Amino acid sequence: MPHCLYLKHLDIVPGDRANPCKGLMKPITIVYSSKKGYPLVHPCTKCGHLSRNKVAMDCTQED
């Protein structure tokens, strides 16, 4: 089963799903944060917004 690290640019505030962009967020690197572990850095391929997103461990999600 393939694993994809791309996201869809949905939120303005985490969880609100109010962003009209809806572009793909491409994973470009992983960084270390003493508080959040190893978040992935994703820039939006449509609008350029940059975000850091925590990695869920031992998690399987449907496409």
Tens of pLDDT, residues 34-54: 887 889 999 999 999 999 988
31 is a domain residue = yes
22 is a domain residue = yes
33 is a domain residue = yes
Q: How far apart are alpha carbons 40 and 49 in whole angstroms?
A: 14
- Give the pTM: 0.73
62 is a domain residue = no
Give the neighbor-by-neighbor strand order of the sheet with 40-43: 29-30, 40-43, 50-53
Cα within 13 Å of Cα(23), Cβ side: 15
63 is a domain residue = no
Domain count, the chain: 1
Task: Give the model's confidence band at 59: pLDDT under 50 very low, under 70 low, under 90 confident, else very high.
Answer: low
Output the pLDDT for position 3.
Answer: 65
Work out the average pLDDT over 2-22: 89
Domain coverage including residue 34? 1-57
